[in-house]
């Protein structure tokens, strides 16, 4: 089993389309849970430089998956929420499978403004 690869530099460019589904569950009127998933397919180009300074470009079909979830609560004039997302993608290099993941967590506090209020 190979435990290391001889990569010195790795750059990736991906272009494609995604489609998915989002659903929001509203509980007790003010509390919500949001779940979503988006598989994607497209063109992917990798630029690789090995430890012995060899350069290589790989053009291939790209596949990825984006998942997002959120929980939040709405008050009369304020709201707050916690959002978590992850993007998963992978590619093969020689005899290795490289799995890449990007994660993000956001905590949001906001205030509502009534711009249609008559004075």
Question: What b-and-e string marks burial along 51-79, b requiring 16 or more CB atoms within 10 Å of the CB?
Answer: eeeeeeeeeeebbbebbbebebebeeeeb
End-to-end CA distance of the chain: 73
The answer to whether residue 2 is domain-embedded is: no
Considering the domain boundaries, does residue 20 fall inside one? yes
pTM, two decimals, is 0.69
In a domain, 95, yes or no: yes
Number of domains in the chain: 1
Expressed as residue numbers, the domain containing 51 is 7-111
The answer to whether residue 118 sits within a structural domain is no
Question: Tens digit of pLDDT per residue, the chain (119 long)?
Answer: 556 667 788 888 889 999 999 999 999 889 999 999 999 999 989 888 888 888 888 888 888 899 999 999 999 889 999 999 998 887 776 667 777 888 999 999 999 887 876 65
């Amino acid at each position: 089993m190979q435990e290391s690869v001889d990569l010195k530099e790795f750059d990736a460019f991906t272009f494609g389309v995604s489609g998915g589904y989002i659903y929001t569950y509203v509980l007790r009127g003010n509390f919500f849970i949001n779940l979503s998933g988006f598989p994607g397919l497209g063109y992917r180009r990798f630029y690789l430089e090995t430890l012995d300074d060899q350069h290589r470009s790989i053009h291939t079909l790209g596949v990825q998956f984006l998942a997002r979830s959120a929980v939040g609560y709405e008050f009369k004039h304020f709201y707050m929420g916690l959002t978590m997302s992850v993007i998963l993608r992978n590619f093969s290099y020689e005899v290795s499978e490289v799995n890449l993941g990007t994660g993000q967590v956001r905590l949001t506090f906001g205030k509502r403004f009534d711009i249609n209020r008559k004075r």
